Structure 1
């Protein structure tokens, strides 16, 4: 990949947000980095792998997964183009990947090792602030996720909260995830979630009008 393409892609990433093109070019000349390409379903890192670098997603997207004690796969996070992987894991006493990382489509990664990263953060305050903001955002995200998943909400309560967030003025919601993916997000079984949705349809709370698309018949139910 030629430098011009890398610069254009880096400009649109979270880590390099606010850094001008001239400075990015200078950084690429002064710091050692690597570019990695992965195919769909490639496992980029396994849980337990030692981490000594960060990964900036230039193209494509990744998902992080973890195998729970019952043998089921829990999907933790989806990382889109422009986001950074491993900012929270590269420092600390135990620099290990806590989950598996998979490519879900063709992915291009910009990789910077810890030594070069530390020098870059020391030199560039914009990138340093972006890096710290990324760690902070992820901490807040996972704290909220833990709270939402483990505060004893029933399946119906989790579904109600999800629908409340998806509502629009036309009273039509589209489940952006399939029932299977939504069940994984809620960390419940697919049949259990399907039963709740079927019950809502039977009780005229929801009406199915298309693939993963529902009309809200009872607005008060999702206040």
Structure 2
């Protein structure tokens, strides 16, 4: 079960399950921990000395604003890595709390062992670099979205970036996730989507949004 999950993990992409078992088995440079729903897996500003891999379940990052309100940063499901970009470097502390969403099993690979794995296997090293680069791109896009003045501009940009003329339909995650992504309330996001639908810029479907007028969305950004 553990090795089957690792075979689907981006860090070991391209490696067979038997090969992963050969690499990991017998070393003892990892720990396995189980968590209950709502339990804190790690706390913000704690030293990140081992790479955490979600073997089972889902977690989310959480940050508390100065007002005391907790804000969910991003849900992460198995078999992804938790905060790989903060494992190495001069500041290797977690930027957010990590909380379990339901039952979760976490494998933690010691930092020195991860470095050894990358030295010994170019596939793992390449995968790790790709993972960190992809996360950097995601966060740079998020900063770009948040730099816009209005929520309407943020939503328009998001829809334009995630659809095309050939594929105008975008499956929508839970509206709460979208709202937190834009640092807005659910009702505010729903209001913007409803206004755009009235102007025939898009169509709100039960579980998706279909862009009807890309030019109209582009005009919002001018």
**Shorter-chain-normalised TM-score: which range?**
0.7 to 0.9
The two structures have a TM-score, normalised by structure 1, of 0.81
Matched, 1:92 2:92: no
- Which whole-Å CA distance do the structure 2 matches of 1:146 and 1:170 have between them? 25
Instruction: Decide which of 99, 106, 110 is 2:107's aligned counterpart.
Output: 110
Change (3 A) 1:202 1:64: same
- Post-superposition Cα deviations, 1:29-53, rounded to whole Å, max 9, x if no partner, equal 2342111222222221111112110
Change (3 A) 1:166 1:60: farther
Unaligned runs of 5+ in 1: none
Instruction: Decide which of 183, 208, 216 is 1:221's aligned counterpart.
Output: 216
1:214, distance to aligned residue in structure 2 (A): 5.5
- Post-superposition Cα deviations, 1:9-36, rounded to whole Å, max 9, x if no partner, equal 2111111112233332222223421112
SS in 1 for 2:66: coil
Counterpart for residue 24 of structure 1: 20
CA contact (8 A) 1:166 1:174 kept: no
Corresponding pairs, count: 216
CA contact (8 A) 1:46 1:100 kept: yes
CA contact (8 A) 2:201 2:217 kept: no
- Which whole-Å CA distance do the structure 2 matches of 1:208 and 1:70 have between them? 33
Change (3 A) 1:173 1:121: closer
1:92, distance to aligned residue in structure 2 (A): 1.9
The two structures have a TM-score, normalised by structure 2, of 0.81
- Which whole-Å CA distance do the structure 2 matches of 1:129 and 1:172 have between them? 33
Cα RMSD for the two superposed structures: 2.7
Matched, 1:189 2:185: yes
Q: 131-140 or 160-169: which moved more?
A: 160-169
1:96, distance to aligned residue in structure 2 (A): 1.2
Unaligned runs of 5+ in 2: none
